[in-house]
Structure 1
Amino acid sequence: MSRVKIAIFLILTLFAKGIQAQNSTVEFISSDIFVTSIETDIKLQFDAFPDSIKEQIQITLNGKKQLINWDNNYASLQTRLYESTTLKAVADTTVLYEKELSPIPLWFSIWPPLIAIFMALLTKEVFSSLFVGLLVGTTIIWKYKGFSLFISLFKGLFSVVDTYALSALLDSDHLSIIIFSMLIGGMVTLITLNGGMKGIVSILARYARNRRSGQFITWLMGLMIFFDDYANTLVVGNTMRPVTDKLKVSREKLAYIVDSTSAPIASVAFITTWIGAELSYISEGINQLGIDKSAYQVFINSLSYAFYPIFTLGFVLMLILKKRDFGPMLKAELKAYAANSPDSLHNSSHAPQIMKEIELNTGVKGRWYNAFIPVMVVILGTIGGLVYTGYDTEVWHSKSIDFSSKLSIIIGNADSFKALIWSSLGGVLMAIILTTAQRILNFKDTIEGLVNGFKTMFNAVLVLTLAWSIALITTDMHTASFITETMRSIQLNPYWIPALAFVFSALIAFSTGSSWGTMAIIYPLILPACWKISMDAGMDINSALPVFYNVVSTVLAGSVLGDHCSPISDTTILSSLASSCNHLAHVRTQLPYALLVGTVSLFVGTIPGAFGVPIWVLLLTGFTVLYLVIIKFGKKID
């Protein structure tokens, strides 16, 4: 193809398009956010170019010819950028397209979550902290697109809303959580107005005669609703709050018990909404290894190394039974015990509430079934929805799989968000029927109560939206890659890999506020790396498998630990919401307990477990250490 022919084609193209600019026939359609050392996909669309012209097109980066793949009118390539690079599409000597690519330094990716976290801890105000973290991230992105700092700040301000907040709300799973939360909020309001909550309180009060029994019942309910952490948090927190208020248990302690029973039990239970995600993450990691184990078998074998969830559940129970607390939680408990009412404490200027309080209606007769029936509809409806959406005829009729495994596989494959929405809607409808049928409220007042319940969730929805937006910007800026690349560069004995996996999973979950997102990132990277390092170290399969199982479990455990410690975690936020506890107060009081259990899990469980110490010895030792800490540093409230 001669240069003249190319020129003639371009002239005709320009004429047909109304004498537009030369590169108007070429469009850059891939993401324009680049991060140093991260593999990047670059894609250009060439409109109206004949094949004879395409054959002459070359794409260069800083003058170096790149290998490109053509798919109809699309040309794509993969590369890693380490400095500002000029992208050019050239036909012969004619430049068809040119763009300057400026990658963001990878270490900048940690700024948005870190700034959000530190501001939240320092200012004790979560909305502005999350917003500033987002604004820092969007400003960095626009600055490295070639704009001045002032223009980048201006554009970044709008990107917070029109790009990240909007994308967070357009995610179907996020919308499902919002709808489910609003429906649960509406149901709780109705069962409060119709006397159901009052009836439950009067019954529970027979057993919750003191602070210890009230907290124990809360812990026990947390174990009973094991199948989903969101349902666990919202149902237990909202149901037990009036009881613990009456017994002068601080809402910080209630939020801690709720938060520390929801994710830990949901992450290790056999029948849970976590199973499907965990198995899919594990599968991605073991597909390349040739291990003669299914993802489900790997998960089951790894549970014996799940020290953090197990120790957390036991630690909470020991605190309750010994009636002791220490650190910030002790101060919160003393304040609640001395306060005239929890409302006077939590409505003070020093502890602004995230959620509007839903008060018991003292003018209505207590009817326990008005609360019990809707809550059971939610619980049984969730289980039924999980079975319905995950049912597989082949699995159910298989003779080689026992009943519990069938049920676990079916629920693991279920659509948990649909099940939650269906069950919560059923709970709302049942609450409406019970309220109107007994003529406690007329239909108009019932609907107004329902809408008011929706309104109480607004602050929580706002915080969740900002937290999800932070997670999106950390994905775009490859925050997790910064941490995981650091981990992969360290070469050491394979027996230390579980400890590293635990620490880095906790760091990523803390930075991103997402345990599931952390598992999705870490599992496909660490599992093949762990297996390869073990094989390179001369270990046989029987020796490598325990280390491998330990890594599988520590990624899960570290993700839950980081999620517990992070102010931007959705489960941490929901625990504050359900308990009507100031969010930062919940984080501040829970953090020392979570870090203590995490430290014991690491040094008493994960590390010696990797070197072959029997599991029962580690569990006994770990619980003994936690018990001694409670006895040594804990003080009784009453």
Structure 2
Amino acid sequence: MNNTWAILLPPVVVLIGTFITKRLNSSLCAGIILAALITTNWSALPAFKLSVFRLKEIVTDFDNIYTYCFLLIIGALVLFIERTGGANAFARIITRRITSTRSAQNSSLLISFSLFIDDYLNILTSSAVMRSITDQTGVPRAKLAYLIHSLSSPLVVLAPISSWTGMLITQFESAGISMDAHLNTKIYADPFLTYLSTIPYLFYSFALIMSVWLIVHYSYSFGPMKIHEDHARNTGNLFAGKEPQAAISDSTAGNLLDFVVPVCSLLIFVFMGIAYSGGYHLLGGTVGLVSSFKNNTQTPAILALSAGAAFALSCVRAWVAGTLTIADIKNIGKDGILLMYKTVVMLILASTLGLIFRLDLQAGTYLSNLIGPHISLHLLPVMFFLISCIISFITGTAWGTIALLAPIVIQLLIGLEHIATPTTIEHIPLLIPILGSLLSGSVCGNQLTPISDTTIMTCSGTGAYLTDHLITQAWYVLPVIIGSLCGFYITGLTYTSGYVLCALYGLTTTCIATWLCIVLINSISKGRTS
């Protein structure tokens, strides 16, 4: 395969196809076919064989199978918590004593923090519980939508055990990060520990959470959101003068144990499973706790088995307590699988396309040769934050964006720094910051786009108008984007100073720049509400 501009056609086709049809999986199929055709010089039969071969590689990999099982079981676990009303029971304990607008908003944030396990569960539960409470305290629906949406995906991506964990492990492994010594491995590292290493570099998520707290705590109000809050305070209309809009209802009271048992058991099983696999001395091994986490190589299997055990334990407890019948449990299991089925298919297709990109088209190598002479390494974190944000905005999916770009990022860095593979993360100090910028940009674009599942679900759950939510949220997210760009620029300048210092410099810069932007915009608009 000659290195030509045609290599860049498959991702362009995926983006355009998704934007026009709103069907990511169909667009990914088209991208796979086109990539295979380009690889085989437009020969139909060899292209078909290549596509099937790469797809088979993805779906027969045991780590991938375990990850897909984890995602399907997590879907069932999320539905269990939702349908039994466990999350509602927990949330209502938090919201017992609310007397003011600020306390209502703080309660919304606290509920979101508690539901870190999944963004869908977070949005649906927070919306159902907080709607009536914020209505009584005069919080406009656009503000409620902003609070809930801001602490869904941006928060969940920070949680080491969540519905995002399995996806990220799969994509990092498909991109060439693995502990297995085979030909596809580019970087010898554990994908789970690699994800954990990116968390300090998720500047957008940290800054967004900080900005939401500042806006609520200091009652900052500016831009279109000020119009909504003025209307709510002066007229009682929570829709800025528009007619009220219906929202999804959920009246399940629930039992607190139906929230505590699934979440706590999942965390305990995962923690113990990783420690046992890594040889923790209290569980029969010979090493300390930190070393056991480093030694662990069975994360996908542990996640799947832990999720299965947590789901089984939760169902048995609910059945014994009379909360669920056997038929209810079967329905939850079936619907949970259906909830995540399309996502798993998307991950399989995106991973297949990523594998062809990396191994057959050598897209990263081509890009490194193309842009290497024209771009400085220190600009790459900023560049990938912007690129991933744009792609996520267009496609409406953060997961698809990560799957599309992760293989290109890794191969591009290896090519730019002229490193022989397989190598280790220590030899590519810019890798973790750039992966952090990729995840940050993907979450940012997903939050801002009108076509993402979380955006639509937020508006449906809160009853906010879609246009109102997007416009009011954009003003509050803009300072975070500016702060993140500043942080990733500093990261690019300081990545050789070491992992800890680089993350500290970048995160500090991001938070300070975000805070200054918020204060400046608020001062200019002169908008403070009580």
Counterparts of 1:206 and 1:451, CA distance in 2: 32
8 Å CA contact 1:186–1:452 kept in 2: the answer is yes
8 Å CA contact 1:505–1:558 kept in 2: the answer is yes
1:215–1:184 distance in 2 versus 1, CA, 3 Å: same
Q: What residue number does 1:259 align with? A: 153
* RMSD value, Cα: 5.6
Q: What residue number does 1:471 align with? A: 350
Q: Does 1:244 align with 2:138?
A: no
Q: What residue number does 2:521 align with? A: 633
Q: What residue number does 1:525 align with? A: 411
8 Å CA contact 2:176–2:407 kept in 1: the answer is no
One-letter amino acid matched to 1:396:
Y
Shift of 1:218: 4.3
Counterparts of 1:290 and 1:315, CA distance in 2: 38
Shift of 1:507: 5.9
Counterparts of 2:18 and 2:472, CA distance in 1: 15
Q: Does 1:557 align with 2:437?
A: yes
2:218 to 313, 322, 326: 322
Q: What residue number does 1:338 align with? A: 237
Q: Where does 1:437-448 land on structure 2 (aligned, <5 Å)?
A: 443=325, 447=327
Q: What residue number does 1:371 align with? A: 255
Q: Does 1:606 align with 2:491?
A: yes
8 Å CA contact 1:255–1:575 kept in 2: the answer is yes
Shift of 1:114: 1.8
Counterparts of 1:475 and 1:332, CA distance in 2: 44
Counterparts of 1:403 and 1:462, CA distance in 2: 35
Q: Does 1:109 align with 2:10?
A: yes
Cα deviation digits, residues 382-441 of structure 1 (max 9, x gap): 1233135434466312999543453576598353233234323433443344344xxxx8
One-letter amino acid matched to 1:312:
L
Q: What residue number does 1:18 align with? A: none
Counterparts of 1:591 and 1:631, CA distance in 2: 16
Counterparts of 2:477 and 2:171, CA distance in 1: 22
Q: Does 1:359 align with 2:250?
A: yes
Cα deviation digits, residues 214-268 of structure 1 (max 9, x gap): 4434444555566xxxx24244334322332121453353122222211134499
SS at match of 1:105: helix
5+ residue gaps, structure 2, are 136-142, 420-424
Counterparts of 1:377 and 1:607, CA distance in 2: 43
1:143–1:186 distance in 2 versus 1, CA, 3 Å: same
Counterparts of 1:181 and 1:301, CA distance in 2: 26
Q: TM-score if structure 1 supplies the norm length? A: 0.56
1:532–1:320 distance in 2 versus 1, CA, 3 Å: farther
8 Å CA contact 1:252–1:329 kept in 2: the answer is no
Counterparts of 1:622 and 1:260, CA distance in 2: 15
Q: Using CA pairs below 8 Å that are at least 6 residues apart, which structure has the higher relative contact order?
A: 2
1:422 to 292, 309, 312: 309
8 Å CA contact 2:364–2:412 kept in 1: the answer is no
1:425–1:516 distance in 2 versus 1, CA, 3 Å: farther
8 Å CA contact 1:285–1:527 kept in 2: the answer is no
8 Å CA contact 1:498–1:551 kept in 2: the answer is no
Q: What residue number does 2:367 align with? A: 486
Cα deviation digits, residues 48-68 of structure 1 (max 9, x gap): xxxxxxxxxxxxxxxxxxxxx
Q: What residue number does 1:188 align with? A: 82
Counterparts of 1:574 and 1:428, CA distance in 2: 27
Q: Does 1:205 align with 2:95?
A: yes
SS at match of 1:359: coil
8 Å CA contact 2:81–2:87 kept in 1: the answer is no
1:447–1:599 distance in 2 versus 1, CA, 3 Å: same
Shift of 1:474: 4.5
5+ residue gaps, structure 1, are 1-35, 39-81, 83-103, 120-126, 148-154, 348-352, 534-543
Q: TM-score if structure 2 supplies the norm length? A: 0.65
8 Å CA contact 1:189–1:453 kept in 2: the answer is no
Whichever structure has more helix as a proportion of its residues is: 2
8 Å CA contact 2:278–2:292 kept in 1: the answer is no
1:424–1:315 distance in 2 versus 1, CA, 3 Å: farther
8 Å CA contact 2:482–2:514 kept in 1: the answer is no
SS at match of 2:439: helix
8 Å CA contact 2:192–2:299 kept in 1: the answer is no
Shift of 1:188: 1.5
Cα deviation digits, residues 432-455 of structure 1 (max 9, x gap): 44344xxxx8x5xx8469848966
Whichever structure has more strand as a proportion of its residues is: 1
Counterparts of 1:451 and 1:332, CA distance in 2: 41
> For the pair shown, which has the larger CA radius of gyration, 1 or 2?
1
2:271 to 380, 387, 395: 387
Cα deviation digits, residues 255-287 of structure 1 (max 9, x gap): 22222211134499xxx7689669867855999
One-letter amino acid matched to 2:366:
E
Q: What residue number does 1:15 align with? A: none
SS at match of 2:129: helix
Q: Where does 1:201-240 land on structure 2 (aligned, <5 Å)?
A: 201-220=91-110, 222-223=112-113, 231-240=117-126
Shift of 1:132: 6.7
Cα deviation digits, residues 493-517 of structure 1 (max 9, x gap): 4444444455556566666743653
Counterparts of 2:207 and 2:65, CA distance in 1: 34
